[in-house]
Amino acid sequence: MRIQDKVVVITGGASGLGLATALYLTQEKGARVAIFDLNVEAGEKAVADIGADRAMFVHTDVSSEESVQKSVGEVMARFGAIHVCINGAAVPTPFKVLGKDGKAAPLARFAQTTAVNLNGVFNVMSKCAEQMAQNEAECGEERGVVINVSSGAAYEGQIGQSAYAATKAGVIGLNMPAARELGAIGVRVNAIAPGLFLTTMVAGLDEKVLTMLKEQMEAPKRLGDMREFAHCCAFIIENAYLNGETIRLDAASRMRAK
């Protein structure tokens, strides 16, 4: 799918990998973006940085069906279509199965992670796909593209990541059935499982911690550049034969137990 002037919904798009992708797709590829996020200040700043002619911010709780439905409606009212959906909103919520006191973790903590990281992905994907189905097929075959953001934790979750890893594995599990179903209406579904990237939060860590993280990388021996993640999103959008696939974007690195 050509990216120029296409409308891209990005959840978690006000910061980190989501913001980097919004900037790349608008500035390098000429897309229009709708940023779904809970952080109003960051979302409004992102729109100011990109330009209000090509970007909009919608305060969105991805775990709420009502909120997502309302947000999708606002995008349709502003841009008239949705062509790409990138689901990047997630919460880490680290905790162990058993606490220090030996007591089982409250189910509510696990459910909170699931509500955003897995239910939220399905929620936004399904609402966007409904609108994609109305698009005119590009080259007679493509109406939309979905990119769901997983994690290396889906494969090698660390201690304390039971909830996070389970939801990210669930994101990968969505790929094939969704790709098979939505392919019938010209919508492709893929996922990216990123490793460690040099986000603003990571860059602010102590130098010793950063050095330790870099030593865990295989090749290249560094943390990922956020533009490399954004470039991967663009590749998925533009390659019409890529479907039902998960790309591990992690410099061949594998997470340790802790």
**pLDDT confidence of 205, banded at 50, 70, 90?**
low
pLDDT in tens, 25-69: 999 999 999 999 999 999 999 999 999 999 999 999 999 999 999
Tell whether 63 is covered by a domain. yes
Q: How many domains does the chain have?
A: 1
Catalytic residue among 24, 155, 164, 241: 164
Tell whether 257 is covered by a domain. no
**pLDDT confidence of 97, banded at 50, 70, 90?**
very high
Tell whether 170 is covered by a domain. yes
Average pLDDT over residues 81-86: 98
Of the ranges 32-46, 156-170, 215-229, the best mean pLDDT one: 32-46
Q: What share of the chain is helix, strand, coil (3-state, %, to 5)?
A: 45, 20, 35
pLDDT at residue 256 greater than cutoff 90: no
Tell whether 24 is covered by a domain. yes
Tell whether 235 is covered by a domain. yes
164 as an active site residue: the answer is yes
Q: Which helix (H) or strand (E) holds 84?
A: strand 84-87
Residue 176: give its domain's CATH number: 3.40.50.720
**pLDDT confidence of 254, banded at 50, 70, 90?**
confident
Tell whether 50 is covered by a domain. yes
pTM: 0.94
Residue 212: count of CB within 10 angstroms of its CB: 11
**Alpha-carbon gap, residue 240 to 82, rounded angstroms:** 17
- Segments forming the whole domain that contains residue 180: 7-248
Tell whether 214 is covered by a domain. yes
What was the pLDDT predicted at 191?
98
Tell whether 219 is covered by a domain. yes
**pLDDT confidence of 158, banded at 50, 70, 90?**
confident
